[in-house]
């Protein structure tokens, strides 16, 4: 499947803007997980030449790794999470529901790519 890098970059920028906005009042907080998974998927797709299946697997691995890192209580990680930007990226609390959301939304990205919706 040929990549349209301009479309991917535009999608990444739009998703990041919506992802940051989801922390405000005008987007539901539940959009955070959906946008995070989609953002990771499209970033992986943009920067690699992986086939769709591997893109999905790498994206899911990144999302899961970040989520599971929230279970770790290391001083240096806690210090990093004190920074507002890193707190947004790394999160604060482990939730199984986040793992489910990441899986569902990455699957939706794969379906979009297969159907050539985007």
Q: Report the C-alpha gap between 44 and 50 in whole angstroms.
A: 8
With left for phi above 0 and alpha for psi between -120 and 50, is residue 91 left, alpha or beta?
Answer: left
Give the count of domains, the chain: 1
pLDDT at 27: 61
The string over 51-64, giving b where at least 16 C-beta atoms fall within 10 Å of a residue's C-beta and e elsewhere, is eeeebbebbbebbe
Q: Is the pLDDT of residue 63 over 60?
A: yes
Q: What is the pLDDT of residues 84-106, one digit of tens each?
A: 777 777 887 898 989 999 999 99
CA atoms within 13 A on the CB side of 71: 7
Q: What is the pLDDT of residues 19-62, one digit of tens each?
A: 777 666 666 666 788 888 999 999 999 999 999 999 999 999 99
Residue range(s) defining the domain that contains residue 64 = 5-114
Question: What end-to-end distance do the CA atoms of the chain give, in Å?
Answer: 11
């Amino acid at each position: 499947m040929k990549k349209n890098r301009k479309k991917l970059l535009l999608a990444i920028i739009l998703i990041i803007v919506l992802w940051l906005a989801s922390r405000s009042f005008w987007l539901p907080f539940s959009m955070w997980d959906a946008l995070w998974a989609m953002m990771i998927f499209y970033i992986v797709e943009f920067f690699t030449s992986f086939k769709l299946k591997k893109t999905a697997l790498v994206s899911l691995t990144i999302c899961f790794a970040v989520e599971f890192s929230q279970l770790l209580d290391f001083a240096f990680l806690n210090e990093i999470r004190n920074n507002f930007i890193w707190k947004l990226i790394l999160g604060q609390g482990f939730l199984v529901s986040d793992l489910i959301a990441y899986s569902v939304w990455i699957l939706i990205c794969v379906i979009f790519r297969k159907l050539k919706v985007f």
